[in-house]
Amino acid sequence: MQRFFVEPHQIDEGAHQIHILGSDVNHISNVLRMKQGEELWISDGGKKEYRCTIEEFSPDEVLLHIIYAQEPDYELQSRIYLFQGLPKADKMELIIQKAVELGAYEVIPVETKRCVVKLDGKKAAKKVERWKQIAESAAKQSKRMLIPNVHEVLTFKEALKYAESMDVRLIPYELAKGMQETKEILADIQPGQSIGIFIGPEGGFEEKEVNRMIKNFRKSADSHNVEINQCNVYRGATEGPIINIFMIGTTGNLLKSDSIKPGMDVIMAGTLAIGGTSVIAERYKDKLAGKFSGKFISECLELKDYTSTEKASAIAIDAGAVYMHAVSEGGLFSGLWEVASCVDKGIQVDINKIPIWQQVIEIAEFTDINPYLLEGSGSLLIVSPDGYKIEESLNANGIYGEVIGKITDNKNRVVINGDETRYLEPPRGDEIYKFI
């Protein structure tokens, strides 16, 4: 079904109408040759989309009738900004198209030292206008809720300045430390954070440019009294490795992995696998309807409302947390492994203390998946010398909190179930991929 974007002022929800104006009128009428009564999707560029039928044509307007509106969760939870060094020929068009299809929030073309392409003012403006058209077309084709912006071309210095406010910045370069660290760093990115990804031109970045990036990011961190928790060069899924600078903390209250000691408590905030369960419920509502009641399915769908860890993070910091790790891809077991790997210590957890909702158990049994390896957005692993204080603080604020284990002085990563001991394995993917 065709998709178009409109401004809020074009939507009249009271009259159940949407007014299509501008170039889209010709596209609907003469290019697509759509007829009265045909259906299409309209996005307001924000959270709402409307299923509509064509009601009436006029020379400068297409009038639509709204059948219903909804607020889907197509967009990524984090905003990804792609800083792309200008490539040769027309490669930028393909890059923009694929970046938009994959969920990028904004594309920023950047002139670097090794860029072969140099654009003057007029030529750059025409290119950007063309790139914006490609972004819009890709957004329509990939069912995006918004049209990602294509920024005007920036110098390298301007790009660094633009990226200063972003939570995480990733930069491909020529050194590497291994794929496992890449996974751990990416797993620490929490929903809602902004991510700047710097990609060089065909010749890559010059060493001076990379050094300048690191210096710039450190200066930015210092000015905000924020610790650069990680500054690593590692091998990513691109042709080159990535320098990652990940910042976490607030003035006078920094979280440091080197503060973790054996014997400290491991606390879980939130409950198991609610993010993955809500996704399965959304995508397989019809199949689930043959087994479960409508009320049960609605409860599963509502789990997505509990996937934020922002409140839990703030409470944990105030209550004495020394380290936190958001559970995401690969589920809780992957998160536990990543915590132990990050601090280079052992971890022991009692599986019977892990909070899990009945809806998650029943969906897991019905679909034959392991909920401990299912996407775990909404859960937060916390390390503290006084886990019960954090547990009490979380519960007092309406958040599930439970001390589930301890940090150990060996390298063993184990889950205890009564007399049975299970050794955790390195992350190998997520159960959710069986369904999407």
The tens digit of pLDDT for each residue in 399-421 reads: 999 999 999 988 899 999 999 99
CATH class of 79-247: alpha beta
User: For 72-125, how does the pLDDT look when each residue is reduced to its tens digit (9 = 90+)?
Assistant: 877 888 889 999 999 887 789 999 999 999 999 999 999 888 887 778 777 888
Tokens for 248?
């976490």
The domain ranges of the chain are: 3-70, 79-247, 257-434
Average pLDDT, the chain: 83
Average pLDDT for 317-342: 87
| Segments of 248-369 assigned E as strands | 265-269, 323-326, 346-350
Per-residue pLDDT at 227 exceeds 90: no
The domain made up of 257-434 is a member of CATH 3.90.650.10: yes
Query: What's the rounded Cα separation, in Å, for the pair 368 and 365?
Result: 5
Predicted local confidence at residue 58, as pLDDT: 93
The residue behind tokens 């419920």 is: 281
Q: Write the pLDDT tens digit of every residue in 145-169.
A: 889 999 999 998 899 888 887 888 8
Share of the chain above pLDDT 70, in %: 86
> Considering the domain 3-70 in this protein, what is its CATH number?
2.40.240.20
pLDDT digits (tens, 9 = 90+) for 182-192: 666 677 777 77
What's the average model confidence in pLDDT over 349-364? 94
Residue 87: both structure tokens together: 């490539």
The answer to whether 141 touches 168, Cβ cutoff 8 Å, is no
Predicted local confidence at residue 430, as pLDDT: 82
The C-alpha torsion from 132 through 133 and 139 to 142, rounded to 10°, is -130
Average pLDDT on 365-374 reads 92
More confident residue, 36 or 256: 36
Q: How far is CA 394 from CA 63, 307, 313, 343, in A?
A: 51, 15, 10, 24
Nearest alpha-carbon partner for 6 in 281, 17, 320: 17
